[in-house]
């Protein structure tokens, strides 16, 4: 008879329950009755095992994998350990996870009764799970759930490129309004300062550079042209233009300006310079944002055109859902409806006309270029919206195709087909995907090794902190024992030499094999302290025996030693 188990995923860990009489309660009405009463629920649904998450990062990794239907190492190990291999079926809430588990040989159940069972576990078993998760209370379990929910949502927002299109739209809107205001402000500065130095307007065309020159020169008659000419050359970065400015200032027909007027002009020029810097910063921010959101589309159409297309469509998803013909006339809706009303020719292009490819094409081939570019923009938008990895591999190949297509339209040679180019791009994309997966695995292994090292160091520190210290009395006793041992060591070594000489007499072969064994104690005697030698001499004087060192004993034959011992 097959047993039914239920996998319950929580913020604290994985829980496994064994269900009794699943065949009898395996329909919705009976399951609802069981879930209503806590006693009956605990009789039918029995706790089997629980695997807690160690860290918040581990919990996020496992829950995000379960949402995508993937099986983590922790989950597979947990099921191998606690789920019987034979005569067992597993009830799962997620059908995608169930398919992946069934591919591993686990019999899976998924229906409406499983959802009711999950509702009952949430109602009656959360307190027990909170206690199992490192003795946590119900309030702390709430914190687990809220923290994991915040981390999961944050990770989704970071990864999902569809959420990054809103900042792109805002950035494009600010850039458009800022460009319009800057043009009007720069014209006001030119008109205002033109009363004093009208020749400078024709010499310098860039608005930002013009404002910088105004702030440097100020009153052209009071400016020290001989000493400060190097500053002007460094600012303009062109010596010819600097000399023309100097000649024009000497021959200028402008009149003098009062000091208050000049101060207002300088303040306004400084504001224009700041706004120009802000626009440059926003352009850089837009390019960085589009590298994450739409890398392929930005390489094909450019940053500003990509931002305008996304903002006009409403989002990147809406742009990806559009056909190539809709993208081609995007931004020309008024002209389109007017043409449909009057039954005249419809427009060939809208916002896409701003692209460099259409500008390079001749008037005869502008329609073809717009149609081809719109086709590639539609493909690039879909790739950016629905691909796993953000990369501009396909976009670079599309740019090559567009360049060759423009050459072909201008009368150049035939180019490669788009199928061959896209196959090469797909191969490059798959290689990049494998490389990124390897890097992620390597980073994960390094993080795990670092965590293990931190744990071992902490355990060593804790063990050292709790290690008992030796008392002073024990230390003094140990020191006395060592001193006594050092004083007695010379006598022991002498007696050891005498015994070794007797043994060598019996078996001379062992003495020849190990000649170094008898020499080692002599080195110990030579390295003894002076105190040991003095004690030895005192003992010998008391006994009134002839002074015989260990070396003298070694020189005498073994027979004499035995005779002396018998006499004594």
**pLDDT of residue 24 exceeding 80:** no
Q: How confident is the model at residue 495 (pLDDT cuts 50, 70, 90)?
A: very low
Residue with more model confidence, 418 or 458: 418
Distance from chain centroid for Cα 169: 26
Q: What is the pLDDT of residue 267?
A: 94
**305, 352 in Cβ contact below 8 A?**
yes
**394, 425 in Cβ contact below 8 A?**
yes
**pLDDT of residue 147 exceeding 80:** yes
- CA angle (26, 31, 33) in 5-degree steps: 145
Q: What is the pLDDT of residue 134?
A: 64
**pLDDT of residue 280 exceeding 90:** yes
Q: What is the pLDDT of residue 203?
A: 92
Q: How confident is the model at residue 69 (pLDDT cuts 50, 70, 90)?
A: confident
Q: What is the pLDDT of residue 171?
A: 93
Q: What is the pLDDT of residue 186?
A: 93
Return the top range by mean pLDDT from 97-106, 124-133, 185-194, 424-433: 185-194
Sheet bearing 13-19, strands edge to edge: 45-52, 13-19, 3-9, 88-91, 107-109
Q: What is the pLDDT of residue 374?
A: 92
From 89, 79, 19, 85, select the one nearest 50 (Cα to Cα).
79
How many other CB atoms sit within 10 Å of the CB of residue 135? 8
**5, 16 in Cβ contact below 8 A?**
yes
**269, 188 in Cβ contact below 8 A?**
no
For 509-525, write each residue's pLDDT tens digit.
444 444 343 334 433 43
What is the pLDDT of the chain when averaged over all its residues?
A: 78
Q: What is the pLDDT of residue 537?
A: 52
Instruction: Measure the CA–CA gap between 6 and 31, rounded to whole angstroms.
Output: 14
Q: What is the pLDDT of residue 468?
A: 54
Residue with more model confidence, 416 or 371: 371
Residue with more model confidence, 424 or 280: 280
Q: How confident is the model at residue 459 (pLDDT cuts 50, 70, 90)?
A: low
Section 241-267 average pLDDT: 90
For 533-553, write each residue's pLDDT tens digit.
455 555 555 454 444 444 444
**pLDDT of residue 445 exceeding 80:** no
Q: What is the pLDDT of residue 361?
A: 85
Residue with more model confidence, 211 or 138: 211
Residue 197 has what DSSP assignment? Answer: -
Residue 143 has what DSSP assignment? Answer: H
From 207, 40, 196, select the one nearest 124 (Cα to Cα).
40
Section 266-289 average pLDDT: 94
Q: What is the pLDDT of residue 552?
A: 41
Residue with more model confidence, 37 or 353: 353
Q: How confident is the model at residue 152 (pLDDT cuts 50, 70, 90)?
A: confident
Q: Comparing 26-30, 92-96, 441-445, which segment has the lowest mean pLDDT? A: 26-30
**pLDDT of residue 352 exceeding 50:** yes
Three-class DSSP category at 224: coil
For 203-240, write each residue's pLDDT tens digit.
999 999 999 999 999 998 888 888 889 999 999 988 99
Section 141-165 average pLDDT: 75
Backbone angles phi, psi at 52, to 5 degrees: -80, 155
For the question of whether the overall pTM of this predicted structure is more than 0.85, the answer is: no
User: In the chain, what percentage of residues exceed pLDDT 90?
Assistant: 23
Instruction: Measure the CA–CA gap between 380 and 370, rounded to whole angstroms.
Output: 15
Residue 255 has what DSSP assignment? Answer: P
E strand or H helix at 7, and its extent? strand 3-9
């Amino acid at each position: 008879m097959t047993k039914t188990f239920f996998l319950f995923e929580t913020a604290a860990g994985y829980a496994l329950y064994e269900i009794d009489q699943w065949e009898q309660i395996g329909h919705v009405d009976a399951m609802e009755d069981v879930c209503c009463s806590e006693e009956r629920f605990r009789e039918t649904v029995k706790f089997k095992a629980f695997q807690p998450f160690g860290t918040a990062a581990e919990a996020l990794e496992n829950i995000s994998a379960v949402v995508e239907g993937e099986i983590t190492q922790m989950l597979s190990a947990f099921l191998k350990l606690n789920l019987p291999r034979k005569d067992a079926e597993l009830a799962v809430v997620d059908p995608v996870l169930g398919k992946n588990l069934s591919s591993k040989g686990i019999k899976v159940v998924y229906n409406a009764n499983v959802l009711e069972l999950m509702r009952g576990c949430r109602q009656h078993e959360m307190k027990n799970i909170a206690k199992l998760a490192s003795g946590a209370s119900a309030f702390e379990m709430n914190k687990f759930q809220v923290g994991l929910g915040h981390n999961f949502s944050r990770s989704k927002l970071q990864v999902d490129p569809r959420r990054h299109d809103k900042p792109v739209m805002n950035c494009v809107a600010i850039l458009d309004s800022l460009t319009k205001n800057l043009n009007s402000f720069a014209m006001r500065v030119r008109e205002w300062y033109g009363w004093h130095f009208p020749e400078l307007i024709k010499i310098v065309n860039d608005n930002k550079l013009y404002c910088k020159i105004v702030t440097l020169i100020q009153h052209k008659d009071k400016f020290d042209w001989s000493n400060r000419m190097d500053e002007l050359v460094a600012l303009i970065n062109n010596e010819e233009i600097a000399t023309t400015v100097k000649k024009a200032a000497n021959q200028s027909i402008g009149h003098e300006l009062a000091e208050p007027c000049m101060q207002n002009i300088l303040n306004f020029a400084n504001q224009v310079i700041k706004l120009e810097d802000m626009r440059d910063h926003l352009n850089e921010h837009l390019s960085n944002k589009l590298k994450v959101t739409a890398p392929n589309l930005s390489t094909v159409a450019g940053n500003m055109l990509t931002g305008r297309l996304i903002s006009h469509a409403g989002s990147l998803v809406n742009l990806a859902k559009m056909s190539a013909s809709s993208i081609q006339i995007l931004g020309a809706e008024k002209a389109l409806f007017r043409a449909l009303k009057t039954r005249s020719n419809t427009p060939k292009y809208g916002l896409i006309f701003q692209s460099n490819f259409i500008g390079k094409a001749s008037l005869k081939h502008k329609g073809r270029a717009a149609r081809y570019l719109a086709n590639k923009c539609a493909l690039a938008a879909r790739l950016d919206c629905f691909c796993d990895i953000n990369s501009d591999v396909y976009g670079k190949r599309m740019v090559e195709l567009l360049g060759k297509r423009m050459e072909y339209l201008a009368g150049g040679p035939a180019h490669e087909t788009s199928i061959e180019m896209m196959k090469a791009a797909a191969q490059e994309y798959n290689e990049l995907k494998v490389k990124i997966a390897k890097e992620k695995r390597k980073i994960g292994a390094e993080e795990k090794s670092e965590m293990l090292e931190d744990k071992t160091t902490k355990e060593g520190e804790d063990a050292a902190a709790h290690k008992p210290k030796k008392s002073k009395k024990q230390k003094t006793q140990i020191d006395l024992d060592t001193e006594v041992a050092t004083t007695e060591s010379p006598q022991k070594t002498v007696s050891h030499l005498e015994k070794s000489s007797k043994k060598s007499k019996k078996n001379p072969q062992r003495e020849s094999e190990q000649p170094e064994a008898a020499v080692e104690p002599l080195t110990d005697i030579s390295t003894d302290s002076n105190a040991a030698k003095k004690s030895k001499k005192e003992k010998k004087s008391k006994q009134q025996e002839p002074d015989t060192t260990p070396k003298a004993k070694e020189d005498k034959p073994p027979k004499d030693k035995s005779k002396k011992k018998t006499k004594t």
